[in-house]
Amino acid sequence: MSETASSHTAGRIVVGYDNSPGAIGALTYAAALAASRGLALVILLALSHLNPADRRTARALKVDPNYIETSSARSQAQLDEVVGQVIASHPQLEVSSLLLAEDPAGALAAASKDAALVVVGARGHSSEKRLPLLGGTAAELITHAQGPVMVVPEGDHTLNSGPVVIGLQDAPDSLAASEIAAAEALRRGVPLVAMYAWDIAPELGDFSAMVRLDPEQTHRDLDAMLRELVAPLEEAHPELIVERRVVQGSARVALVDASRNASLVVVGSRGLGGFAGLLLGSVSRSVTREALCPVIVARDWQK
């Protein structure tokens, strides 16, 4: 991302846009979020076919030397119209657009380095084959992001319709995500639900039948660990209401189920559980695909 683009996104909420239904939903949510927090909004449209180095573009330029200029003007006009629509809904919101001749996932990942938050739709589609599928963009963005990413599923979502749910593990990514979750719960004025899901690692195969755990004792041990994990948040934010939930079973299933009544789910991008012998693994991709509310994926960027 160029210096100009970076300065355009720093400290702002950046939303990826490609005119798909998923992107329109993400834009609607991002605009409401930015307006509620007094942050500027940047609508980013990145199109690889505007880059003359792209093979398809190079061929198109042989047929029409004005291909990039015409395509850019058409895309910018579309962005200008969208900006106008957002301002009409949120007159006090500072809204701008950014058109880049780059791969969408790469452009959004670069923006995530200094943006307050990057928002994308969980999936998208377009009638024009040359436009990227936002679903693939979201998955790649989560992998390469340098800051928190919010994935918004299709449907109507309100900012404070339920608690903020955090899937906790004793891992750096999860602990970094807990700070984001606490801040989100406080901003929204809702409780924070801290979840720890445990199960015998599928990788153990037939050996798992030989593992004997007392479910009640395991629950007590993990609840004590969960209490330690959330203690710093409670100490730092005494006004924060925290509910602890230890769930036996798949973390993916537990978090997706919790998303039915949540306003937001926050997960770390990957990590190992701290309870000996229990591999939690990363569930971020599955949760972002299946959750019924927006999901923030975070990691420990200090590593």
- Computed over every residue of the chain, the mean pLDDT equals 84
pTM of the model: 0.85
- Of 172-186, 233-247, 276-290, the least confident: 276-290
Contact call for residues 263 and 188 (beta carbons, < 8 A): yes
pLDDT confidence bin for 245, thresholds 50/70/90: very high
Contact call for residues 253 and 280 (beta carbons, < 8 A): no
pLDDT above 90 as % of the chain: 53
Q: Inform me whether the pLDDT recorded for 231 exceeds 60.
A: yes
Q: List domains and CATH numbers for the chain.
A: 3-152 (3.40.50.620), 164-298 (3.40.50.12370)
Of residues 90 and 129, more confidence is placed in 90
Of residues 99 and 138, more confidence is placed in 99
Contact call for residues 194 and 178 (beta carbons, < 8 A): yes
Backbone φ, ψ for residue 246 (5° rounding)? -105, 125
H or E segment and range at residue 176:
helix 172-188
Q: Inform me whether the pLDDT recorded for 186 exceeds 50.
A: yes
Specify the pLDDT at position 16. 96
